[in-house]
Amino acid sequence: MNNNIIILPIIIPMITAVLLIFFNKQEKVQKYLSAVSSVINIGISVFLVHYVHTNGIISLEVGDWKAPFGIVLVADMYAILLVLTANIIVFACLLFSYKIVDYHRSKFFYYSGVMFLLTGVSGAFLTGDLFNLFVFYEVMLMSSYFLIVHGNSKPQLRETIKYILVNVISSALFVISVAFLYAVTGTLNMADLSLRVAELGSSGIIAAISIMYLIVFGLKGAIFPLFFWMPGSYQAPPAAVTALFGALLTKVGVYSITRVFTLIFLQDIAFTHTFIAWLAVLTIIFGVIGAISFSDIKQIVIYNILTGVGVILFGVSTMTKSGLEGSVYYMIHDMIIKGLLFLLVGIVFSITGTTNLEKFSGLIKKYPTLGWMFFIAALALAGIPPLSGFIGKLKIVQGGFEQGEFVLAFAVLLSSLLVLYSVMKIFINGFWGEEKIPQVLETSQVKSLYVPAAFLLALSLFYGLGTEFISSYIKQAEQVLLSPDLYIEAVLKE
């Protein structure tokens, strides 16, 4: 059987990125080429979601080498849903970039960088091999180094140095963790690892390695004691890039934690998963503290990423049917909504020239569309019932209660209130009140910026209102997470 179609979401952005290097002087070619390839990619991802939905997990043995020996790419429902979401976010961010990024920057390979970032992200979601995961992490991180410094302003340079330093250290830790696990088990294929770790039973060394993986992926995904690099690094680059980072990069870390702790390290759940649960709740607490303490709208949204990561991880740590289902729901919602919020922040910035709440107010009179879009996005972020954030958080809290973790589950619930407060603060101080705008952009100029944001908002609305329609896909994703046998069988085909 030939499942070459799995490689397409990785290979198409890669080819596009290479072709864009050849056409770096022609701005038109860059825009059309990247848009077309992005649309094709969305089409393929939708087809793959449908295909996996009907045929179950599919895997591709790259280079025709049998499973534990070669590299496998595995498309289970969770991975392929995330690939689809990532492609949609990239499409929206590309549309936004066309208006924001000028020729001077785009001729220095901006769109190639975005496409390589997408290559890394899709690869990290689809791979079934631990070292291959590392390689795709590096593809993703290298492009993110490039995108974060692209434009050459002073704060960008400063934050890039910090960002690279942290990520180089975490990558080295990743390699060390892979080496340890390889020394103990002798394999790198995730499905095979799962079997061998299960054979070893609960030994101390496996527990230690699992915590090392938690630290590594926690550094990438910004969980509680390891998030210190994020607020500064995400503040520096322009809005379109921050939207890509906020929606994709941390989520890859969270996805990796989910994958590793639902597939491989299952021997000592009482220790590892309780540990994750506590870290998740602390992440949430620090996230909301940051979000309510700042009066800079970009910082508020950045700290809300932390809260989102914490909520997803708490769902994973419960290891119950509803908890995992909720974390899948919340993951996709969080990617869309963070992309949307950063785009809205970008629009506000290009109107007012500042992101400081104390410097502007009363935007809603001149820009009512923007105001109400922000209002709906804020409600969706907090998880108000008909909107997209609701069902995920409901299921996660339900999972927490099923496990008897009442205190932690209540902390997750209470965090919603503070998240709502933090974004409503933006709405009340920035959009209401008397009109005070440092600089004014013509409404016609802003209108074209609304398109990508409106696209993501519509998607988020559909995700919230069409839960009925989506739930069968999510259930399938959750099944694989809950019973790793399905995954192992699909890969090793015994």
CB of 18 to another protein, least distance (A): 5
Closest alpha carbon to 118 in 27, 15, 19, 22: 15
Instruction: Compute the least distance from the CB of residue 24 to another protein, in Å.
Output: 8
H-helix or E-strand containing 438? Answer: none
List, in sequence order, every beta strand (DSSP E) within 14-119.
58-61, 72-75
The residue among 21 and 168 lying less far from another protein, judged by its C-beta, is 21
Q: Kindly tell me which of 25 and 365 has the beta carbon lying closer to another protein.
A: 25
| Pairwise CA distance, residues 256 & 79, whole Å | 10
Quote the least distance from Cβ 8 to another protein, whole Å. 9
Distances (CA, A) of 410 to 316, 328, 389, 417: 16, 20, 17, 11
Q: CB neighbours of 366 closer than 8 A, spacing ≥ 6?
A: 435, 437, 440, 443
Is the Cβ of residue 2 or residue 55 nearer to another protein in the bound state? 2
Q: The tokens 């072709």 sit on which residue?
A: 19
Q: How far is the CB of 66 from another protein (least distance, A)?
A: 11
Sign of CA dihedral 402, 403, 406, 409: negative
- Spatial separation of the C-alpha atoms in residues 420 and 326, rounded to whole Å: 19
The residue (of 115 and 396) whose beta carbon lies closer to another protein is: 115
Residue 140 CB, nearest approach to another protein (Å): 17
Minimum CB separation from another protein for residue 153, in Å? 18
Phi, psi values for residue 61, rounded to 5°:
-90, 100
Q: Which is nearer to another protein, 22 or 103 (CB)?
A: 22
**Whole-angstrom distance, CA of residue 464 vs CA of residue 388:** 4
In the complex with another protein, which residue's Cβ is closer, 11 or 282?
11
Report the residue number, 2 or 444, with the smaller CB distance to another protein.
2
Helix axes 250-263, 204-221, angle to 10 degrees: 160
- Our CB check for another protein shows the closer of 64 and 494 to be 64
Q: How far is the CB of 175 from another protein (least distance, A)?
A: 18
Q: Pairing state of beta strands 58-61 and 72-75?
A: antiparallel
* Minimum CB–partner distance for residue 107 and another protein (Å): 12
Query: Is-contact 39 91, C-beta < 8 A?
Result: yes
Q: Which spans of this chain sit near another protein (rule: CB under 8 A)?
A: 2-4, 7, 11, 14-15, 18-19, 21-22, 60-64
Q: H-type helices in 186-296, by residue range?
A: 190-200, 204-221, 230-235, 239-244, 250-263, 269-293
Token pair belonging to 38:
């992005």
Length of the chain: 494
Query: Smaller CB distance to another protein: residue 4 or 203?
Result: 4
| Minimum gap (Å) between residue 426 Cβ and another protein | 42
